[in-house]
Amino acid sequence: MALLEVTNLGISFGGLRAVDEFNLTIEKGELYGLIGPNGAGKTTVFNMLTGIYKPTDGMIHLDGNNITGKHTADINKAGVARTFQNIRLFGDQSVLDNVKIGLHNSYEYGTFTGVFRLPKYFATEKKMDERALEILSVFGLDKEADVLASNLPYGKQRQLEIARALATGPKLLLLDEPAAGMNPNETQDLMDTIALIRKEFGVTILLIEHDMKLVSGICEKLTVLNFGRVLASGETSAVLNDPEVIKAYLGE
């Protein structure tokens, strides 16, 4: 069974058909890319997969379970996490606390316990600190656990956002233009990081990206969107050499 099965997904905004008859199948453990020109509908697809938008039609199945149109929190608990084009960290909180926020799918205590600082509160917080540091160590950020998120360099903020998403324990991780704004060295570090987290966390990854070096370097399969419809889909090398893709996306 595929981890993600998207069937005839579509959404309309008034008279505008933003995405139409979108189909996608991702097997467990794959590193998959979704590419296309600006305005092709890529982020709209991510928003439907994560419950920000409710599809007008079509179905989304995650690990055999129908998650179509569910609330964002429920989809996250089902196993889907994402990052955004524009980094959305809690800048006035520490690196550690940003990751701990993501851990609340796995660790929790009641309001009464938290308010009165009962023993379960301290025990749970200790476990969360330990797990957050484990996740941060994968990114080499554990030594900066007490630093405010806003004080991290741009590349490390990107890494922290991914770390926070992983803290929710996803089966499927959606990365929306993770290399945006990065220099070549940071992009190479990001490629290494993405490969590492797939190995370390056993997570399936779907990413939107415009950096073709990154896409061709790590993605095993691609789907190309153009004007809200699938233009091509398949193995990365075959898709990138498809004449229609070159014409529509690469502008040659």
Q: Are residues 157 and 181 in the same domain?
A: no
Residue 124: CB atoms within 10 A of its CB come to: 17
The residue out of 103, 132, 167 marking a domain boundary is: 167
On whether residue 84 sits in a domain, the answer given is no
Instruction: Please give the mean pLDDT across all residues of the chain.
Output: 90
Does 163 share its domain with 173? no
Residue 10 falls within a domain, yes or no? yes
As a residue count, the chain comes to 252
Is residue 90 scored above 90 in pLDDT? no
Domain that residue 75 falls in:
1-79+169-252
**Residue where a domain stops, chosen among 113, 142, 167:** 167
Task: Identify whether 68 is part of a domain.
Answer: yes
Predicted pLDDT at 58: 98
Average pLDDT on 46-50 reads 97
DSSP conformation letters of 132-157 = HHHHHHHTT-GGGTTSBGGGS-HHHH
Residue 48 resides in a domain? yes
At residue 167's C-alpha, the angle toward residues 152 and 219, to 5°, is 85
pLDDT in tens, 184-234: 888 898 899 999 999 889 999 999 998 988 999 999 999 999 999 999 999
pLDDT cut 90: percent of the chain above it? 71
* This prediction's pTM: 0.91
Sheet holding 229-235, edge to edge: 80-82, 172-176, 204-208, 31-35, 221-226, 229-235
128 and 240: one domain?
no
> Please, what is the Cα angle at 36 between 33 and 42, to 5 degrees?
70
Rounded to an integer, what distance in angstroms lies between the CA atom of residue 154 and that of residue 144? 14
Asked whether residue 41 is assigned to any structural domain, the reply reads yes
* Domain count across the chain: 2
What span, in angstroms and rounded, lies between the C-alpha atoms of 247 and 252? Answer: 5
Neighbours of 67 (CB within 10 A): 20
Tens-digit pLDDT profile for residues 109-156:
555 465 446 666 667 778 888 999 999 999 999 999 999 999 999 989
Q: Are residues 29 and 102 in the same domain?
A: no
Same domain, 174 and 75: yes
Domain boundary among 118, 139, 167: 167
Domain shared by 173 and 250, yes or no: yes
**Max intra-chain CA distance, the chain:** 65
